[in-house]
């Protein structure tokens, strides 16, 4: 059900590979601003990023796929996008974008395309994601991509760069 790769108007999403580790490390994994609302701490050394990529690749692709986002024209790396099969009818997504590309509509474009791809499949009825209630940029991406805010999940996830305690998150979804 999860596509091996896919394209948007301006971007190619291809499977993450170990060769992406250095690009990830240099472009965003060390950046405290990018990692503020993530579930991981900024990476200190390249091997931190290599371990992350290895962990992503160890999950069977029918359960979870992580995609590297590249510009169609320039070929430049922009970030990562993931899809996770929760059950036979529900897929969750997650994403991270390098800071120089924030505010340019890239993730909205990627998310819109993934919603169309997933909900066009006969067996998929729901695609969803969450973000910290203070992460208004991510909330706006999901809204612009056509997802609806379903509510607040109280004490849902730990964002260690903000707090050691579980934080509230907005829940967004698109359904058919």
25 in a structural domain: yes
SS3 state at 133: coil
77 in a structural domain: yes
157 in a structural domain: no
Domain ranges, residue 94: 6-125
Span 20-36, mean pLDDT? 98
The residue behind tokens 């990692």 is 35
pLDDT above 90 (res 9) = yes
141 in a structural domain: no
Span 21-30, mean pLDDT? 98
- State how many domains the chain has: 1
Provide the pLDDT for residue 137.
96
The residue behind tokens 């730990």 is 158
58 in a structural domain: yes
Q: What is the pLDDT of residues 98-116, one digit of tens each?
A: 999 999 999 999 999 999 9
d(CA 11, CA 14): 10
Q: What is the pLDDT of residues 31-82, one digit of tens each?
A: 999 999 999 999 999 999 999 999 999 999 999 999 999 999 999 999 999 9
88 in a structural domain: yes
Q: Residue 30's pLDDT band (boundaries 50, 70, 90)? A: very high
Identify the CATH number of the domain in which residue 79 sits: 3.40.630.30
Span 1-18, mean pLDDT? 96
With a CB cutoff of 8 Å and minimum separation 6, the contacts of 114 are 6, 81, 83, 93, 127
142 in a structural domain: no
173 in a structural domain: no
Provide the pLDDT for residue 1.
84
């Amino acid at each position: 059900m999860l596509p091996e790769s896919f394209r948007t108007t301006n971007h190619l999403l291809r499977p993450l590979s170990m060769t992406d580790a250095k690009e990830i490390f240099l472009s965003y994994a060390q950046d405290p601003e990018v990692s503020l609302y993530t579930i991981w701490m900024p990476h200190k050394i390249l091997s931190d990023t290599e371990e992350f990529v290895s962990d992503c690749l160890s999950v069977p692709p029918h359960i979870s796929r992580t995609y590297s986002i590249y510009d169609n024209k320039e070929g430049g790396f922009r970030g990562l996008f993931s899809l996770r099969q929760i059950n036979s009818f529900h897929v969750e997504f997650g994403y991270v974008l390098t800071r120089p590309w924030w505010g340019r509509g890239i993730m909205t474009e990627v998310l819109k395309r993934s919603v169309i791809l997933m909900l066009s499949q006969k067996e998929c009825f729901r695609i969803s994601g969450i973000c910290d209630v203070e992460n208004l940029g991510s909330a706006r991406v999901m809204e612009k991509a056509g997802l609806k805010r379903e509510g607040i999940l109280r004490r849902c996830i730990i964002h260690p760069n903000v707090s050691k305690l579980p934080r509230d998150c907005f829940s967004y979804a698109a359904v058919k």
